[in-house]
Amino acid sequence: MATFQEHISSSTPVLVDFFATWCGPCKMMAPILDQLKDEVGEGLTILKVDVDKNPRAAQKYGVRGVPLLILFKEGKIVWKQSGVRQLEELKSIVSSHA
């Protein structure tokens, strides 16, 4: 299985969803991310990182609140935003970094 670092180093954009199981807004993001994956397909990888199970990753990327979405391209952060984001906004951001 690939490591987190291997995943985010991909030339395909990788959207990482830092979330918590107890977080209401995080639960609202789940179907939006599912729909985004359905529409974008192979042009995007989505990883979900539970901040309670992965505190070191959360600390490394400065997660202060959830949900926090970070878009990586070839290992570099190209976009970072907290809070619930809408599908059209996410599609636009992903396509601008494809």
CATH classification at residue 16: 3.40.30.10
H or E stretch covering 55:
helix 55-60
pLDDT of residue 3: 86
Token readout for 81 is 């935003």
pLDDT of residue 2: 75
Express each pLDDT in 85-95 by its tens digit. 999 999 999 99
Marked catalytic residue, from 4, 9, 10, 23: 23
Domain that holds residue 52: 4-96
Give yes or no: 23 in active site: yes
pTM: 0.95
Give yes or no: 88 in active site: no
pLDDT of residue 98: 79
Number of domains in the chain: 1
Express each pLDDT in 41-88 by its tens digit. 999 999 999 999 999 999 999 999 999 999 999 999 999 999 999 999
